[in-house]
Structure 1
Amino acid sequence: MNKTDRQLAIILELQRMTLLRAEDLAATFETSVRTIYRDIGALCEAGVPIIGAPGQGYCLVEGYFLPPVSFTAEEAVTLLLGMDFIEQQFDAAYRSKASSSRGKLEVILPEAVRKEADKVRAGMRLITGGALRNGRRAEELALLRQAIVEERTIYFRYEGRAPGANGERITSREADPYGMVFVRGAWMLIAYCHLRRELRHFLLTRMKDIELLDAVFSRPSDFNLQTYAPPDDRNTLVRVLFRQELALKVKEYNYYYADMMEDTAEGLLVTLRVRKPEEVLHWVLGWGEGAVILSPDSLRIRAREEIESMLKRY
């Protein structure tokens, strides 16, 4: 690594870490401590605001940020698409930040790169579905984001299916929000539920009357939203046979519960893996007479009852 690259890398390391000793930097870049001293001195002379704390190490003045040296057209398009997503799925505060970031990015791009990026982006469009056009939903997302950052307990009413019934029921909940996940076009809250005394998932579209409480909590040190994966307790298999002319549409649907699909002489055989068979009842019925439930028998009976109830309404 030459001197210029190393000095740039030192700045990036200092931006990433709060405090670094010369010995740490020397080990990282496989050079001597004396060389690091010279590099730090050269950077200071060039105007980089580095503070040296005797016996502790070096740090950058708070707020200093090294702008990117350059972007390729593909890198610029990647960032612009990310801003498109934020403008579609985040609240007003972040939509505003995305818009201003877009302007800054377009300003620093060289003209040739900007034109190439515009050409690539003209042939690409991001449509995430379920955009936050509802002002109330956007406010709720902002409130949940605040609760996650400040580690504050929330209160809300949650609409869910009543056990053993066709209707819905609403329960009052208090929960400690750990993070938000965007799944299949919808925001989902990962939170410790005080009522169930365990980690639960809550769809934002089913949450009502969200309030930020004064109570605070501490997120478990071993919880990492980026690596979190809920236990898969879908242990019941449902087998459904689709008419051959529906096979392509069923495959394109990419249904969450679909575990295996097999083309047969009779049609497309789909095996669904669920917690409760009733979870997929309305999806199967939505395909009309083009889908036949093969097993389990309990779901076949439940489907027949639903169809008979529908007939009474027509």
Structure 2
Amino acid sequence: MNDNYLKKLDRVTAILTQLQSKPIVRAQDLAEKFDVSVRTIYRDVKTLENAGIPIVGEAGSGYSLMEGYKLPPVMFTKEEVLSFITAEKLMQKFLHQSLGNHYQTAMEKVRSVLKHSDKNLIQNIEKQIDVYNYHPKPEDNIRNIIPIILESIAEKKQLIMEYKTVDSKISTRTIEAVGVFFEFNYWYIMAFCTLRNDFRQFRVDRILQIFKTQNPFLQEYGQINDYRKSSNGNKTKVRLLVEKKIINHLANSKKYYGLIEEIDRGNEVELIFETEWINDGFPRWLITFADYATILEPEILKTKLSDIVNRISNKHQ
């Protein structure tokens, strides 16, 4: 059995898995995934059809399995089983609690189709993997909150929620959710707020009540990252000169605070930001490494930073 035959066998099996997991699969997408020509994919699909797999569709429009057709459970490789164990450990630490029970049930179904030897592998290795998370999970006021949000996105229905802001003000909002994302140990909704007539992000643990309406979205939306890059207000340009020895410690947070450019300045790096949080968020972040940084502009940032330092000093004298 030569290598080309084995590669084709692996590829055809993987295509069958794709057909089982998606409503429709395009030949072009499969060709890119497996780094082969579209014509090769056509031949692979023909191989599946000759093996008795009822595939609906044709070249150019996409393929799917005939509705109602059932295949035996998928068999997993040892490497895939090990990846499941690692992913499960991550999910236990970072998965939102409203999804936890659903994920656990799904994993039980995955375990149920494993070979006996793979079940033994899990039992032997799962206690040897751990993920340390030093931040406690925030508690939610509502059961199944993320599934409610995701259902509204899938069905394109508006949500009405009661929301508490960072300064404890409570308001009722009608929103059209674009997506959810996890950042700095919190889950957020990115949504179009009909009250503000603009896009906003809301922390999930600050939602006091939420329910899905039957009102359809007023407009179509793109991907969530299209809106996370957009501004909700006026941005201020900030230039910092930071010692190189701490740059690696800012790897994740500097992008969050609006980094747009880095310039090498010998022993230092000039960081250029566009930030909406010049009044509070940015100076409070800057204070964590201010002894290694010089503010080049704006002057208002120097004032904000000095005010915070003075308040801290006066409070602890």
Provide the TM-score with structure 2 as the length reference.
0.65
Point out the more displaced range, 207-216 or 5-14: 5-14
* 5+ long unaligned stretches in structure 2: 26-38, 57-62
Instruction: State the distance in 2 between where 1:100 and 1:263 align.
Output: 53
Residue 152 (structure 1) shift: 2.9
Structure exhibiting the larger radius of gyration computed from Cα positions: 1
The Cα offsets for residues 163-207 of structure 1, whole Å up to 9 and x where unpaired, read as xxxx675544210112211223221112111022233322224x3
**2:199/2:227 contact within 8 Å kept:** no
Judging changes above 3 Å, is the alpha-carbon distance between structure 1 residues 130 and 152 closer, same or farther for their aligned structure 2 residues? farther
Partner letter of residue 217 of structure 1?
Answer: P
| Superposed CA RMSD | 4.6
1:275 matches 2:276? yes
Q: Report the Cα distance in structure 2 between the residues aligned to 1:87 and 1:215, rounded to whole angstroms.
A: 34
Stretch deviating more after TM superposition (180-189 or 255-264): 255-264
Deviation at 1:114, TM superposition (A): 5.1
Deviation at 1:309, TM superposition (A): 3.9
What is the DSSP-based 3-state SS (H/G/I as helix, E as strand, rest coil) of the residue aligned with 1:30?
helix
Cα distance, 1:68 vs structure 2: 1.6
Give distance in 2, aligned partners of 1:247 and 1:128: 23
Aligned residue for 1:67? 73
Instruction: Tell me how far 1:297 sits from its aligned partner.
Output: 0.8
Q: What is the percentage of aligned positions where both structures have the same residue?
A: 12
Name the counterpart of 2:30.
none
1:189 aligned partner: 189
Correspondence 1:14-53 to 2 at 5 A: 15-16=20-21, 29-30=42-43, 39-40=51-52
For residue 136 of structure 1, give the secondary structure of its aligned residue in structure 2: coil
Q: CA separation in 1, counterparts of 2:294 and 2:266?
A: 14
Given candidates 68, 72, 85, the residue that maps to 1:80 is 85
Q: Which residue number in structure 1 is paired with residue 99 of structure 2?
A: 94
TM-score (norm 1): 0.65
Q: Counterpart of 1:15 in structure 2: which amino acid?
A: Q
In structure 2, distance between residues paired with 1:212 and 1:262: 50
Deviations 1:140-170 (A, max 9, x none): 3343234334433222344557xxxxx6755
- Deviation of 1:235 (Å): 5.7
Distance in structure 2 (CA, Å) of the matches to 1:137 and 1:85:
23
Q: Which runs of 5+ in 1 are unaligned?
A: 21-25, 44-49, 162-166
Alignment of 1:100-249 (within 5 A): 100-110=105-115, 113=118, 124-127=129-132, 130=135, 132=137, 134-136=139-141, 139-160=144-165, 170-205=170-205, 207-218=206-217, 223-225=222-224, 228=226, 230-231=228-229, 236-239=237-240, 241=242, 247=246
Secondary structure of 1:147's match?
helix
Matched residue, 1:47: none
Where 2:107 maps in the other structure, the secondary structure is helix
Q: 1:309 to 1:18 in 2, by over 3 A?
A: closer
Q: Go from structure 1 to structure 2 and tell me whether the alpha carbon gap of 1:66 and 1:273 turns closer, same or farther (over 3 Å shift).
A: farther
Q: 1-side partners of 2:215 and 2:294: how far apart?
A: 51
Deviations 1:25-51 (CA, angstroms, capped at 9, x unpaired): x99542898x877533xx6xxxxxx69
Residue-by-residue CA offset, 1:251-302 (whole Å, 9 max, x unaligned)? 467443355386766x776544423422311122344756553431111122
With over 3 angstroms needed to count, the CA separation of the structure-2 counterparts of 1:276 and 1:102, relative to structure 1, is closer
Q: 1:254 to 1:14 in 2, by over 3 A?
A: closer
Taking structure 1 as reference, are residues 199 and 237 closer, same or farther at Cα in structure 2, changes over 3 Å only? same
Q: Could you tell me how far apart the structure 2 residues matched to 1:95 and 1:51 are?
A: 35
C-alpha separation in 1, matches of 2:13 and 2:303: 69
